[in-house]
Amino acid sequence: MMNKGLTAAIAALALAACGAGSAESAPVYVLMNVPYNDFYKAELAKNAVPVDAVTSATVAKAKNAHLVGGTYHTGDDTTLIIEGVTFPVKVDEAALKGFVHAASADELFSRGSYAWTELTQAPAFFKEMSVAGGAPAFGKVQGLPEVAVANVKGSVRTRTRRGDYQLKLDGFDTDPEKETLYGVIVRTAQNDYGMRRLENIWRGGRELGWNVGYTKFIKDVNPTFPAHYKTLTGTTITGLTYITDKAVYNVDAQVYLPVLTGCRLKAENAALAAGHTAFAVEGELPGNYVPVYDAGALDGGTAADGRIVWSARNKPGEYEMKITDEKGVYETLTAAFVLSTDVLPAAWDAEGGRLVPAGGEEDFKNYLRCVRELTIDGTAVNPKRAKIIDGEGRLDLSAPLFKERGAVTVRAAGYPDLSFEAARR
């Protein structure tokens, strides 16, 4: 039960705003953990399939308030479930009986669904809650301005680490430092689809991903729940809605989602000097799929009849070929492959604390572009994320990973490993 003084204060605010009613019948405002399906139900006019919770395979990310701010979770240190969002709610005080009362907003982060805590003043935005037969129901978001967003371009890839589909938006995202993103709705002419943090929403909403049944697991989520998204296949996104604590953004973006084939494209790694390698489609392409073969960035490259050919002007590294459907109905199949050499164009300069050319300058520059991993005393790091090596080959020897003297291995796609000892500076 709420503090009586606080209840009376909130009731007085409501009376002042409405100009009518009594303190006994006035609604109260609380912050509540609202399950995803309840949160989205009033916002999705054309999809009755429930929006599931998210089972996180990475406990640290589900607990990272900066990454998943606005959500709440349950579970233990091995498996956490992101069940929904923590959102302001307008409700009759009597309807709160039977639901868990949390001492603070921070406590809600790890409490279950429908847990709540008092708000000291009426919020600028909220959902209205009613309870019938013990079952809560929530209305549409109220109080937030609607903002139209134009000139947004969307591109889609299939079979990615984000899921069967990965949508990238150019021209719009939200800023996690300035606003809390509660949810994203993908809209088509046929249905609306609610997206969730960690499984679907990434990078402030600039990237979205979802499964429709081909992929069981995606990065950071185990397992995925594709039922809500299955009917997206072969449709066209007509717009997206982003719900934050600052506004409801209605994004105008038209993106076709190609039909998945169930096939995979594979290309074999090869020596650069060989001049050719093999590719194959695993599975049977639909009868009306008209394949167009593309050797990608290979200089003088061609792809046909299960064979990729290239000229001697190419350099070692990772390449990609693709097969597209001439009619544009089906997905594009892509395959990455590595062209390698036995020649190492770099050496370690201990005095300068950097990699230096061991051959031509152009070969050295290409080598640096191909660096994918550094292993320091057995710990592998992504050089781009760790920012431990710059574009000219200098290592940050003051980084915590470096001890007084340690073993370092540099791995670059298409090149032999380069191993040496480096001293901390």
* DSSP β-bridge partners for residue 55: 81
The total of structural domains in the chain comes to: 4
Could you tell me if 292 and 378 lie in one domain? no
> Do 18 and 117 belong to one domain?
yes
Q: Decide if 211 contacts 195 (C-beta within 8 A).
A: no
pTM here is 0.84
Residue that is last in its domain, among 293, 324, 340: 340
CB within 8 Å of 346: residues ≥ 6 apart: 355, 356, 357, 358, 364, 367, 368, 393, 410, 415, 418
pLDDT in tens, 121-146: 999 999 999 998 889 999 999 999 99
| 132 and 11 share one domain | yes
| Judgement on whether residues 284 and 250 belong to the same structural domain of the protein | no
pLDDT of residue 389: 92
pLDDT at 348: 96
CATH number, residue 274: 2.60.40
pLDDT along the chain (425 residues), means of 10: 38 38 67 98 94 89 86 90 97 94 96 97 97 93 98 94 93 92 97 95 92 87 91 97 97 97 97 98 97 97 98 97 98 97 97 94 97 93 88 91 87 98 87
- Where in the sequence is the domain holding 68, given as residue range(s)? 4-138
Residue 78 phi, psi dihedral angles, 5° rounding:
-105, -35
* Residue-wise burial string across 134-146, b where 16 or more C-beta atoms lie within 10 A, e elsewhere: eebebeebeebee
Domain boundary among 75, 107, 138: 138
Same-domain pairing of 111 and 159: no
**Cα torsion 47, 53, 55, 56: sign:** positive
Q: How far is CA 341 from CA 56, 135, 276, 308, in A?
A: 40, 65, 14, 17
Instruction: State whether 22 and 126 are in the same domain.
Output: yes
**pLDDT at residue 19 in the model:** 39
108 and 37 share a domain?
yes
Residue 2 is predicted with a pLDDT of: 41
Q: Do residue 225 and residue 182 come from a single domain?
A: yes
Does one domain contain both 60 and 103? Answer: yes
In this prediction, residue 77 carries a pLDDT of: 82
- Domain end: 138, 163, 192, which one? 138
